[in-house]
Structure formats: C-alpha cells, structure tokens
Amino acid sequence: MRFLIVRTDIRTAADADLAAAWADRGWLRDEQIAPEERRQIVRAEDRDAALLLARALSTVGAVRSGRQRVKVLPIDEPGRRNRPGFR
C-alpha cells in the first residue's frame, strides 16, 4: 500500500468557534470542506518508509513548535476497489 506524507499549517481557531463546536458536539475543522494549507508532500511505497519520512519531517522547527503538523495518509492502489471480492 502506498502512503502520502503531508506537512500542513495548523489553522488557529477563535474562542467562539471552539465554544460552538463544543456545545454542538460537532467538529471544529472539517478537512474535506476546508483542508489545511499544505507545505510539503512526499510519497512512500510502504508503511515503514512513510513513518521514516514522517519522523524526518517532524524535526522541522515549525512542526516542533506546534505551528505545523505531519500527517501520514494511506492511499489505495489504483483499481483495487474494482476487483471482484474486494471489501
């Protein structure tokens, strides 16, 4: 399975937005509607390589200070969902 390693900026949330999300038991951020701004994208062919790259990106000063984050996202193989018997 392939992986995508993404370094993104962390959006700040206003106190009112945080209180509204807490009161409604909703989400503060929805990545599908408004994704965080991407700073760097790297691809890896297996999980071990993805975790090694994520660990390396985590040493960036902005990540260590909490202004950015590193995400490891699995990517399905092309055409895999179309195979018979796939669940």
Contacts of 21 (CB under 8 A, 6+ apart): 27, 28
- In the numeric block, which tokens belong to residue 18? 């945080």
- Residue-level pLDDT at 87: 47
- Whether the model clears a pTM of 0.85, i.e. scores above it, the answer is no
pLDDT at 2: 94
| The pLDDT of residue 81 | 53
pLDDT of 69:
94
- What are the per-10-residue average pLDDT scores of the chain (87 residues)? 94 82 80 85 96 96 94 79 50
Give the side-chain half-sphere CA count within 13 A for 24: 9
Structure tokens at 47: 């999980």
Distance, CA of 71 to CA of 9 (rounded, Å): 11
Q: What is d(CA 51, CA 4) in angstroms, rounded to the nearest whole number?
A: 10
